[in-house]
Every structure is written in C-alpha cells, then in structure tokens.
Amino acid sequence: MKTGDSIALSFQTVKSNRLRTAITVIIMALGIMALIAIITAVQAVNQSLTQSFSTMGANAFSIRFKEKNTRFGGGPNRGETKKINRNRVVRASSEGKLITLEDARAFKQRYSFPAIVGIALSGPNGIIVSNEVKKTNPDIRVTGGDENYLQLNGYELSSGRNFNEADVESGRSVCVIGNVIAQKLYGDNTGRAIDQIITVAGNKFRIIGILKDKGSSAFMNADKVVITTYNTIRRLFGSTGQSYNIAIMVSDLKMMDVAIGEAKGIFRPVRKLDVKEQDNFYIDKSDSIAQSLMKNLGFLQYATMAIALITLIGAAIGLMNIMLVAVNERTKEIGLIKSLGGKAGEVRAQFLWESILISLMGAFVGITAGILFGNIVAVLLKTGFVIPWLWVISGVIVCTLVGLLAGLYPAYKAAKLDPIVALRYE
C-alpha cells in the first residue's frame, strides 16, 4: 500500500468517527488557540508600543536624568562609598542630580562628534488650547525644544516654519502645533492657522508652524502637542524640579556606539564627575522605553506556553486512548488486511497517519481561532493585522509530534496482532 493510499484510508476512517474526532480536535485546539491568541495579542501590543515610543529614529539616543534608586546606609549618598571588592572602593555618585540648562548647553557646545544635538524641556500636560471661537479637549501636552527638536523627534511641517536661534534664545511666545489641534480650531484648511494667536494654558502664543500627521496609538497621540522653545517653557511655566533632556542623532547607525561613548566622555566632566564616581545620568536609545515594556509583557508568553503544554499533554493522552479504542474496534479489519498480505508496516502507518491527521486538524482549528481572537487586540489598538508566523509553524510541528507520539503505541499494538487471532476476535 502506497503512502497516499494510507493517508486517504486514514482520512476516511477519521471522517467515519466524527464525534470522537471532534472532541479530540477541540481539546487539541484549545491549547494551541490559547498560545497563538496570547502571542498574537502581545505582538500587537508590541507593535503599538513601538509606534508610540520610538519617535526618534533608530540612529538617535538621548541623555536623561537618572533618579536615585538605592541609598547606601539609608541616608544621602553624597560622599558615601560602595565596596566593589577587597582592593577597590568606588565613591557613589550623587544620583538624583537634575540635568540643568547649563549642563545641557555646555554639552551641546562641547560635543564635536558629527551629529545633531538638541535640548528639550517638558511642559504641562492635559491642558486646553483655544482661540476666540473654539477650544480643544483638555488632553493636549506642551513641550519645549530648540531648532533641532522637530527633526530629532521625527516631526515634519505641513506648513509654516521651524524655530530659529532667535526664537530659542529670546524665549518668544511662538509655537508649532499638531495637525489635530489645527483642524479642531481652524477646520480642514489648517494653513490659515499660521500667524494666528491661540491661548495655551492661559498664555498667548503665535502659531508659526503646523505639523504633519504623525499618527496615534492606544498609548499616545503624537499629534495632540504644542511645541515651543525650552526657554519659553522655562519663562512661562518654570523649570524648578525639572530635568532637561539632551537628544543626539547620528547620520549612520554604525556610528551609534562611538557616538554614545563620546557623549559619555563629554558629559562626565560637565557633570563634574571624577574617575571614581559612577555616572549620574543614563543613555537612552530611542526605542528603549518600548523595549522595556515589551520585556515586561514577555512573562505572558511563558505562562501561555505552560498552559498550552498542559493542554497538549491532556490532548495527547486522550488521542492515545481514542487510537487504542480504534485498534480494539477494528481488530477484525486488521486481521483481514494482514491475512490478505498486508504488512505490519502498512497497518502501523495507517494508524499513525490517523493520529497525525486528527492532531493537525486540532492545530488548524486552534491556530485559526487564536489568530482571530488575538487580532481583536490589534483592532482595538489600531495596529496592522498580526500573524505570528514563527509560532504558527511551531504549533504545526508540535501538533504533528504530539499526534505521532500519541499514535505510536496503538500503531505498534495493531501491527503486532496475529491475523488468525484477530479474525476470530469478537
């Protein structure tokens, strides 16, 4: 009997026992569905996070304020020591020190590496922007930067102009607004918003530019923003208790490590750190926040894998039991096949193919249902349709192995039956 004939005969046998097959397929599908659904949902969340937080390019990084995490001895850590080994003692740095405007300006002036450097300062969030006729919802954020801020954060202008050095140094009340705000206040013809006066958190600003749509996700709307200069933020809203952010973008991704090393070497003297002190700042790549949150979501995959494994073990036991029952039910059939010249290998192959087919049917149902359920999250987060191909292929392989292992013992038991005894079986 050829392999194709064995598969066809096995398929006919599977079809003739629909209820029993359906129950086994459902058990098999539940484990695979849970695994694929959770992983699909996690990938959709990861995609949304990447869109939300990777505002700068892959060739950009920032120097940010690092808050103190650990106190040695429970008190302030200035002048305190942390023992590294028996022969070396390193004085702990004053973590918690803000990056001041003087620090940021000194770094920008001294950093001679071929890169674009920008300074930024956060403003208030959840504010209302209005003109004489209309106003927005209280969900607008204000941020301040310099002439390089738009480029460093992936913004483009649809109309108007960028900040110039005079705007930055003088702290003029000028701003660039997101397209969403312009449409809300001035309708579809956003270009007429240029040179108009708006009120931002009680302060008058003149609009000099309109941003192109950058898109939004479930975690952040990049278009609901009013951008002004960091000196304007400092003048109108104050900077007490705030740290400045320094962003750097290199022209080539291959230069990132060298640029980061150069940035550390420049900024340590600016922060007045000696060789025995640790960094009291940290380098943050553009996608590090998203990656950190993605890593925290990784535990879901491990938990789901454990659930899927337990379900598949149960399904394998059930499948083996069904195949053993099938051997008993078809004992006479097996005896007839062997008495007519059928070989033990052909009988064994038929039962193995039956087990594998049932298992693959469970994989198909589980994968299809898992992708559909998982992409509900993708729809809610407004990301693209997600298919975790690696896990889909892995699911098919695992289910094939489960079917093979579950069918081995029943297949060998059927192949070893004596044809004479099998024909007389009642």
H/E stretch holding 207: strand 203-211
| Average pLDDT across the chain, whole number | 78
Is pLDDT above 90 for 170?
yes
**SS3 of 370-422:** HHHHHHHHHHHHCCCCCCCHHHHHHHHHHHHHHHHHHHHHHHHHHHCCCHHHH
**In the chain, where the domains are located:** 3-52+292-423, 60-286
**CA-CA distance, 69 to 307, in Å (whole number)?**
36
Mean pLDDT, range 110-132, rounded to an integer: 92
Tokens 């379900």 belong to 311
Q: Strand pairing of 141-145 and 225-229?
A: parallel
Q: Strand pairing of 174-177 and 225-229?
A: antiparallel
- The pLDDT value recorded for residue 207 is 95
For 119, phi and psi rounded to 5 degrees?
A: -115, 140
The residues, any chain, with a CB within 8 Å of residue 361's CB and separated by 6 or more, are 14, 21, 25, 28
Which of 2-16, 66-80, 176-190, 363-377 has the lowest average pLDDT?
Answer: 66-80
In the three-class reduction of DSSP (H, G, I as helix; E, B as strand; rest coil), residue 194 is classed as coil
Quote the radius of gyration of the chain (alpha carbons, Å).
Answer: 33
| N residues, the chain | 426
**CA-CA distance, 229 to 392, in Å (whole number)?**
49
- The pLDDT value recorded for residue 349 is 75
- Determine the Cα angle at 87 with ends 85 and 91, to 5°: 70
The residues, any chain, with a CB within 8 Å of residue 200's CB and separated by 6 or more, are 127, 129, 140, 142, 175, 226
- The pLDDT value recorded for residue 75 is 40
- Determine the Cα angle at 269 with ends 263 and 274, to 5°: 120
Which of 104-108, 285-289, 389-393 has the lowest average pLDDT?
Answer: 285-289
**CA-CA distance, 380 to 102, in Å (whole number)?**
44
Identify whether the C-beta of residue 178 lies closer than 8 Å to the C-beta of residue 215: no
Whether the full predicted model's pTM is greater than 0.85, yes or no, is no
Q: How confident is the model at residue 172 (pLDDT cuts 50, 70, 90)?
A: very high
- Determine the Cα angle at 163 with ends 161 and 166, to 5°: 125
For 38, phi and psi rounded to 5 degrees?
A: -65, -45
Identify whether the C-beta of residue 179 lies closer than 8 Å to the C-beta of residue 264: no
Is pLDDT above 90 for 79?
no
Is pLDDT above 90 for 303?
no
Structure tokens belonging to residue 91: 């004085």
- The pLDDT value recorded for residue 321 is 76
Q: How confident is the model at residue 11 (pLDDT cuts 50, 70, 90)?
A: low
Q: What is the DSSP letter of 254?
A: G
Higher pLDDT, 349 or 397: 397
* DSSP-assigned beta bridge partners for residue 177: 210, 226
The per-residue pLDDT for range 202-249, each reduced to its tens digit, is 999 999 999 998 765 544 567 899 999 999 999 999 888 888 999 998
Instruction: Please state, for a pLDDT cut of 90, what percent of the chain lies above it.
Output: 29
Structure tokens belonging to residue 268: 């340590």
The per-residue pLDDT for range 312-331, each reduced to its tens digit, is 777 777 777 777 776 666 66
Identify whether the C-beta of residue 1 lies closer than 8 Å to the C-beta of residue 332: no
**CA-CA distance, 414 to 342, in Å (whole number)?**
12
Mean pLDDT, range 50-63, rounded to an integer: 65
Mean pLDDT, range 145-169, rounded to an integer: 92
* DSSP-assigned beta bridge partners for residue 229: 145
- The pLDDT value recorded for residue 88 is 36
The per-residue pLDDT for range 348-359, each reduced to its tens digit, is 777 777 778 888
Is pLDDT above 80 for 271?
yes
H/E stretch holding 15: helix 3-16
Q: How confident is the model at residue 86 (pLDDT cuts 50, 70, 90)?
A: very low
Structure tokens belonging to residue 425: 């079986």
Higher pLDDT, 417 or 91: 417
Higher pLDDT, 325 or 271: 271
Is pLDDT above 90 for 200?
yes
For 232, phi and psi rounded to 5 degrees?
A: -70, -40
**CA-CA distance, 106 to 94, in Å (whole number)?**
19
- The pLDDT value recorded for residue 74 is 38
Mean pLDDT, range 360-375, rounded to an integer: 87
- The pLDDT value recorded for residue 140 is 93
Closest CA to 367 of 340, 390, 341: 390
**CA-CA distance, 169 to 231, in Å (whole number)?**
7
Mean pLDDT, range 376-402, rounded to an integer: 81
Structure tokens belonging to residue 66: 């690092």
For 79, phi and psi rounded to 5 degrees?
A: 80, 0
First-to-last alpha carbon distance for the chain, in angstroms, is: 27
Mean pLDDT, range 262-286, rounded to an integer: 85
- The pLDDT value recorded for residue 421 is 55
- Count Cα neighbours of 384 within 13 Å in the Cβ-side half-sphere: 6
Mean pLDDT, range 296-312, rounded to an integer: 71
